[in-house]
Amino acid sequence: MQTRTTNRQGSNIVLNCRVPVEPAQAILCDVSETGCRIELFEGHVSKGSTVFFEVDEKNEFAGQIVWVRGNEAGVRFMHTLNPVVRTALEL
């Protein structure tokens, strides 16, 4: 079992996303510097898929789906989050 390297904090931020090209909306839950849990409103994702989250027209960030349970999934962010994204995610 992997151990988290950063603490997660509760969140209920709704963002538009693409999985990988299909548009979707997700609630970001349990957000940390390295990942989050998402709840999809519709659709589904597969383990290993890439998801792109849109903060605004100029800022997005990506992650990889590491687990799936119904409409919930665990996401590991692919890169360090920039300051605009960190602020939007209330980190």
Q: What is the pLDDT of residues 48-87, one digit of tens each?
A: 999 999 999 899 999 999 999 999 999 999 999 999 999 9
CATH 2.40.10.220 fits 13-88, yes or no: yes
CA-CA-CA-CA torsion sign (60, 65, 67, 73): positive
Amino acid 6: pLDDT: 61
**pLDDT tens for residues 17-55?**
998 788 999 999 989 999 999 999 988 899 999 999 999
- Map out the domains of the chain as residue ranges: 13-88
Task: Tell me the C-alpha to C-alpha distance, in Å, between residue 56 and each of 59, 85, 88.
Answer: 5, 9, 9
Question: Is this prediction's pTM over 0.95?
Answer: no
| Residue 49: both structure tokens together | 């898929």
